[in-house]
Structure 1
């Protein structure tokens, strides 16, 4: 008689897989993908290292899953901000601020998602989520053009420029080297940085100073 997996067993496997994912995220949040070791993940998860590979084909597959989960949370937050009341400019400012402030509050995971050197599988995920951000911004820009608060322009190209601008703006501030300098006692004005990034992006879209 063929083995049939029970509903209880499926739930247990799903819970175990998510526990491994949660512990992996913890490791990445502490030191990036580079420092997330399978032995440490197994220790936190309370399983043997071999058990991890029963749920994920490889370390790359595990990291890709973490990347997808973590980045999707950020994309969802941007989408929520873009769905708030107000004209397109107000909503874009809210979305950009949401992205920027969340990045500054969790610099290690933000660096890992935005700029940490990663293997090709994760780089593919990164490009896919940049596309997701661009699609959200494109819709808002189109709405702004229809409302008259944003000048007529190529909404798709402008949305891509927005994604590139905000991602590149954080490469320096979130880098482990600069974060270490700040931790060692250098001053760091996150509000000023966030406001500067938002001002630059909105001025680029509207052509007017804010």
Structure 2
């Protein structure tokens, strides 16, 4: 009986911890890290403010968990869409398009992921997850080289440059919360084409301008 009671207690603790993370995530999406306070998290989660600090001794620790949760989810999505039998250029385009589309549909979360000024601790987490995204792109481009679609080139640097372009392309729209703006799809298509053109000189087949590139209208 004691074991069953302990198991139930641990389950309730884990459920409460997860509720705190989800509550903080919701508030951060609205107000950013800088505008989110412990008492607001407690109120949203239906617990006392002391409970927040019982599970997370500092707000910084809770914020790191929130950032990891959101960023890890995004990385899993792009890893999933990166799989496939399509040409590497198409897979790169799909990863970029899906990532941008998800970000621009949720500008609050996108802003904290790519644009909000962060503490050194959170910035370190941001850089780690940005590297994960670069690795997805680098792996796809390596596949393209192995398949003969591209000649050999520095995929690590190319992935870093593409990632930087995507981040910069997101900063202004998410800062302005331009969800539903009529030019967003065109902007996404432009970024995709821009990034593919960046690695086009190493293609072994037709130049990019002669190759079919899917747009939002084709998706």
Q: TM-score, normalised by structure 1?
A: 0.90
Partner SS state of residue 108, structure 2: helix
- Which of 175, 181, 185 in structure 2 is aligned with 1:191? 185
Quote how far apart the aligned CAs of 1:147 are: 1.6
Partner SS state of residue 35, structure 1: coil
Partner SS state of residue 121, structure 2: helix
The 2-side partners of 1:50 and 1:90 are apart by 50
Give the corresponding residue for 1:47. 47
The 1-side partners of 2:151 and 2:101 are apart by 27
Give the corresponding residue for 1:25. 25
Alignment of 1:1-210 (within 5 A): 6-175=6-175, 178-179=176-177, 182=178, 188-207=182-201, 208-210=207-209
Partner SS state of residue 113, structure 1: helix
Quote how far apart the aligned CAs of 1:187 are: 5.2
Q: TM-score, normalised by structure 2?
A: 0.87
The 2-side partners of 1:49 and 1:68 are apart by 22
The 1-side partners of 2:65 and 2:121 are apart by 10
**Aligned residues: CA RMSD:** 1.8
CA contact (8 A) 1:89 1:150 kept: no
CA contact (8 A) 1:151 1:206 kept: no
Over 3 Å counting, the alpha-carbon distance change for 1:187 and 1:44 in structure 2 is closer
Partner SS state of residue 153, structure 2: coil
The 2-side partners of 1:68 and 1:59 are apart by 14
Quote how far apart the aligned CAs of 1:17 are: 0.2
Quote how far apart the aligned CAs of 1:188 are: 4.2
Quote how far apart the aligned CAs of 1:8 are: 1.1
Partner SS state of residue 65, structure 1: helix
The 2-side partners of 1:82 and 1:60 are apart by 32
Q: Number of aligned pairs?
A: 201
The 1-side partners of 2:17 and 2:150 are apart by 46
Partner SS state of residue 118, structure 2: coil
Q: Which moved more, 1:166-175 or 1:95-104?
A: 166-175
The 2-side partners of 1:132 and 1:145 are apart by 20
Over 3 Å counting, the alpha-carbon distance change for 1:116 and 1:188 in structure 2 is farther
The 1-side partners of 2:100 and 2:151 are apart by 24
Quote how far apart the aligned CAs of 1:209 are: 3.8
